[in-house]
């Protein structure tokens, strides 16, 4: 009887793992919209949005607070382009990277090299780090704001990024984009 009960418990509970799955992020659209500067509220409203990256075998969907009305940037990439009145280079992109072989690495060091080093000479508006993430908001030449957020799980085979380039019409909205980038749910990723 005891052996049968143990077998039933093993089958019912399934296989366990040493790694806990990360909790799904809370996508707080109201909190993001609250950070949009007053003079931009009429033209910049965030909504819960799915941004799809089309891969060869399967798609990856990034769900986050993103500006309403922004269109996909380029097939095969998870990115949105702002409307013409938002500035030519204004965009929002999400994705993952493994910087070479997809194997566990020091993702903080990799992200610093790949994503953050290019902003070393910019005016820093915000630079927040934690053991598993970094958020950097910078201003370049008084005309463009860059938002870069990278996050990872220790031992993962890749890390994730969310970036926004905000030309002059939207450059003051960096805090809102930073908040949006810090809550991205990913589905379909292996």
pLDDT, tens digit (0-9, with 9 covering 90-100), for 134-144: 999 999 999 99
For residues 34 and 28, what is the distance between their CA atoms, to the nearest angstrom? 10
The one-character DSSP state at 31 is H
CA distances from 167 to 9, 129, 138, 173 (A): 58, 25, 12, 10
State the CATH number of the domain containing residue 95.
3.40.1000.10
* CA R_g for the chain: 19
Residues 6+ away with beta carbon under 8 Å from 46: 29, 32, 33, 36, 65, 66, 67, 68, 176, 180
Lowest mean pLDDT among 8-17, 81-90, 127-136: 8-17
Please write the tens of the pLDDT for every residue from 18-47: 445 567 789 999 999 999 999 999 999 999
Predicted TM-score (pTM) of this structure: 0.86
Counted domains in the chain: 1
Which residues span the domain enclosing 127?
Answer: 26-187
Domain contains 10: no
Please write the tens of the pLDDT for every residue from 3-20: 443 333 333 333 333 445
Domain contains 6: no
Domain contains 15: no
Q: Decide if pLDDT at 64 tops 60.
A: yes
SS3 130: strand
pLDDT for res 190: 56
Domain contains 80: yes
Tell the residue number behind the tokens 């204004």, with chain if given. Answer: 90
């Amino acid at each position: 009887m005891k052996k049968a009960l143990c077998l039933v418990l093993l089958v019912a509970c399934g296989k366990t793992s040493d790694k806990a799955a990360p909790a799904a992020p809370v996508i707080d659209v109201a909190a993001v919209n609250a950070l949009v500067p007053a003079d931009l509220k009429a033209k910049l409203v965030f909504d819960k949005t799915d941004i799809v990256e089309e891969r060869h075998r399967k798609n990856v969907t990034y769900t986050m607070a993103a500006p309403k009305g922004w269109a996909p940037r380029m097939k095969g990439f998870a990115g949105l382009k702002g409307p013409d009145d938002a500035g030519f280079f204004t965009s929002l992109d999400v994705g993952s990277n493994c910087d070479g072989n997809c194997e566990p690495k020091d993702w903080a060091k990799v992200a610093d090299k790949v994503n953050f080093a290019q902003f070393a000479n910019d005016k820093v508006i915000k630079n927040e780090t934690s053991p598993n993430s970094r958020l950097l908001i910078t201003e370049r030449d008084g005309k463009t704001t860059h938002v870069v957020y990278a996050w990872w799980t220790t031992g993962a085979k890749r890390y994730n990024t969310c970036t926004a380039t905000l030309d002059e019409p939207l450059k003051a909205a960096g805090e809102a984009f930073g908040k949006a980038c810090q809550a991205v749910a990913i589905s379909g990723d292996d």
